[in-house]
Chains A and B, each alone.
Chain A
Amino acid sequence: MAERIAIVGVGQTHHKSKRPDVTTAEMIAESVERCLEDAGLQMKDVDHLVGGSFEVADGYHCPDKWIIPELGAVGKAGLELQNVGTTGGVLAVASFNIAATGLFDTVLCYSWQKMDEAAGAFGRGGGGANEYWTGQFPMSPITNFARRTYAYMDRSGCTEEHIAMVRVKQDQCALKNPYAQLRLGLTVEQVMSDVLLAWPIRRLHMCPTTAGAAAFIVCPEERAKKVTDKPVWVEDWFTCHQGGALTMAEDPTSSTLRHACEVVYKRQNIKNPVKEIQAWEVYEPASPAELRWMEEVGICEDYTAWKLFEQDKVGIDKEVPFNPSGGVTATNPIGATPVVRLVEAALQVRGDAGEHQIPGKIERALATGYGGQGENVIMLLRKTL
C-alpha cells in the first residue's frame, strides 16, 4: 500500500533573462534555500534528492557532480533525470513515487535552466530532432506551434485577435506575479503588430529564454503532518507520451493532455473538472496552445475556448482562473518550468500566492508539464484528504 504524500515546502528564484551574478549551482541553491525556509527544514533533514534540467540546452553533462556539493548534499540518496520540456514533470513524478514508497521521509526536488548560458543551443530544437523522419526537417517549437495553431484556427473560427487576447491575459497575470520574468503591460494591438516568426506565431506568443530554478519538498503523510500545518496533498499524478510532430496527422491540434486528464479524472471520480478544480497551471509553450489545452483538460467544448476570451471570462478573478502565475509565455526556465507550475499550484491551494491568488477556497489545483510535442505530466493537488 502506497503512502499518501504532501508537498510541505516550495521555492523559486525571481526568474530573469540573464543571471550572470550566479553560477548554475548557486542559482539552484537560491531556490533550495527558499524552499527549505518555506518548509522550516534544513538540508540535514532531507534524505533524498531528485534534480535535473534540459541538459542539452544547458550544455553540461553530469551537472549533479557540482550541484550536489553546492547544495551541501554530498552523500545523500539522489537521482538526476532529464526529459526536455517535461523534465520538471518527470522530476516531480519521480519525487512523488519515491515519497510514496515510504522508504524516504523528506524528498527534495530541485530543477533549473540557465538559458543565458546556452547560446544557440536550439539549432536543431524540437520536433523529435533525433528521429530520422522529423530530424531531417528540424521544426522548432515555433514552427510546430504555428502549424498546430493554424489548424486550430481553421477548425474553430478563432482569429489572430483572439490569440493576442490570450497573450494579453497571460501578461496581466504575470504583472501580479513578482517571480515572473516578462511583465510587459501588453495590449492586443501591440501583440498583433509584434515580429512575425511563423504565422500566426509572433515573438510575444513564444515562451522566453529564462534563467531560473524551482524546488519543492514532498513527504509521506505522517512526516508531512509533523513538518507543516498547511500540507498540500498530491492526490494523483500521471505521465504519458505520444509520437512526434508527423504522427499527428489525424488531429494536428491535439496532445496527450486529454488522455492524461481522463485517466486522472476517472481515478479520482472527477465528473465536472471546471467545478471540481479551482486552479489551473497548465504548461503552455506558446500562448495559443492555452486555447486547446483548456478544451483538453475539460474546461469547455472542443474549439470553443477562444469564445471565453472574447467574453472576457478568463483571468485570476474571473470565471476560469487559468494560469494565474502568467504561465510559460511569461517565464520559461525549461527544465524547471513544470516545477514552477507545481509550486504555483501548491501556493494557490495554500492561499499563499499573494497578489495573483485566486479568490475563494481552492480545494483542488491541476498542474501540468509538457514537452517534445506531446508528452504530458499531470499533477493533481488537493487541500484536504
Chain B
Amino acid sequence: MAENLPEISSEPIVAGVTAHSNFLVSTGATGTKFLSELRDNKKIMGIKCPKCSKVYVPPRTHCPTCFARMSEWVELSGKGSLSSYTVVRYKEPYMPKEPPYAYGVIQMDGADTGMAHILGEVDLDKIKVGMRLEPVFKEQREGSILDIDYFKPSS
C-alpha cells in the first residue's frame, strides 16, 4: 500500500557506475566515395535518384521517397544558401569547435537536401537566412566531413 512506504534509515546510498565505450561508424561504399572526393579533390559530390531525380548531399544509398538504389554521382560547386542556423554559446564535450560558433544547414546549389556544417569567417550577430556560402577546406584532410573546415559567406 502506498501509505506504508518504508522510511529511509540514513543518508540514501546511491552507487556510482562507470561506463565508457568507443564506437566506430562505417560510412559504407557511398559515404566512402563522398569523403574520399572531399579528401583527395576538395570536391563535394551529390547522388541522384534514378526515379525522382532528386539530388542528395550528403549522399545516401537509397532515395527516402522511392527506396530506389542510387548510383549516379553529380559534382556540385559547393556553393549554397543558408536555410537555418543557431549560435552555440555553451560548452560540452565532443563539440567540434570552441564556443561561440554557429551551426548552419546549407541548401547546396544543385541539391534537393540540406547539409549541416559549421559557419566561419562570419560575425555571429550578422548571420542571415538566405545568405550565400562557400566551403573552406582544411589543408590536412583525412576523409572526414570535417575536411570542410567551415562554410564562409561568399562574395
Contact = CB atoms under 8 A, between A and B. Distances in A.
Given A72-B63, A72-B65, A132 B15 contact: yes
B90 to A, nearest CB: 21
Interface stretch (B22-30, B94-102, B126-134): B22-30
Contacts of A129: 17
Contacts of A270: none
A117 B61 contact: no
A196 interface: no
Nearest to A18: B26
B57 to A, nearest CB: 14
B2 interface: no
A120 B63 contact: no
A23 B31 contact: yes
Contacts of B15: 132, 135-136
A121 B21 contact: yes
Interface in A114-141: 114, 116-121, 123-124, 129, 132, 135-136
B60 interface: yes
B43 interface: no
Tell me what chain A mostly uses at the interface: helix, strand, loop, or mixed: loop
B15 to A, nearest CB: 6
Which of B17, B22, B26 has the most chain A CB atoms closer than 10 A to its own CB?
B26
A78 B31 CA distance: 26
Interface in A145-182: none
A117 B25 contact: yes
A129 B18 CA distance: 11
A120 B27 contact: no
A29 B25 CA distance: 17
Given A70-B61, A72-B65, A72-B67, A120 B28 contact: no
Interface in B32-69: 60-68
A316 B145 CA distance: 49
A112 B29 CA distance: 19
Contacts of B1: none
Given A70-B60, A72-B64, A74-B65, A117 B21 contact: no
A124 B19 contact: yes
A74 B24 contact: no
Contacts of A136: 15
A124 B19 CA distance: 7
A117 B67 contact: no
B30 A26 contact: yes
Contacts of A68: 64
Interface of B: 15, 17, 19-31, 60-68
